[in-house]
Amino acid sequence: MSHAPTDSASLLSRITIDPEVCHGKPVIRGLRYPVESMLEYLAGGDSFEEVLAEFPDLEHDDLLACIQFATQSLKLKGRQLVAA
């Protein structure tokens, strides 16, 4: 299955942070799927297709958004460490 590239801002808009949802952890579209959990599935070797089959209300771009969010978070963290 082919997916058209999605811009970074559009992907990141899928990640929400709300103190009332999952204790304020970043989640996908407010659905109570923590970004951290999805990254753990992918890091554990699950394919996008396997994760999407397990969580049918998620979309391919949601998983891309998790990766983009982690990438941006590391870039920000790196800047803070350099400045310290």
- What is the CATH number for 40? 1.10.10.10
pLDDT one-digit tens code per residue, 17-28: 999 999 999 999
Q: Could you list the residue range(s) of the whole structural domain that residue 64 is in? A: 8-73
Asked if residue 3 is part of any domain, the answer here is no
Asked if residue 38 is part of any domain, the answer here is yes
Higher pLDDT pick, 48 / 10: 48
Asked if residue 83 is part of any domain, the answer here is no
Question: Based on the structure, what is the number of domains in the chain?
Answer: 1
Asked if residue 13 is part of any domain, the answer here is yes
pLDDT at 12 over 50: yes
Asked if residue 32 is part of any domain, the answer here is yes
Asked if residue 21 is part of any domain, the answer here is yes
pTM over 0.85, yes/no:
no
Distances (CA, A) of 35 to 22, 24, 82: 11, 11, 25
pLDDT at 4 over 70: no
Asked if residue 79 is part of any domain, the answer here is no
Mean pLDDT score, 63-78: 89
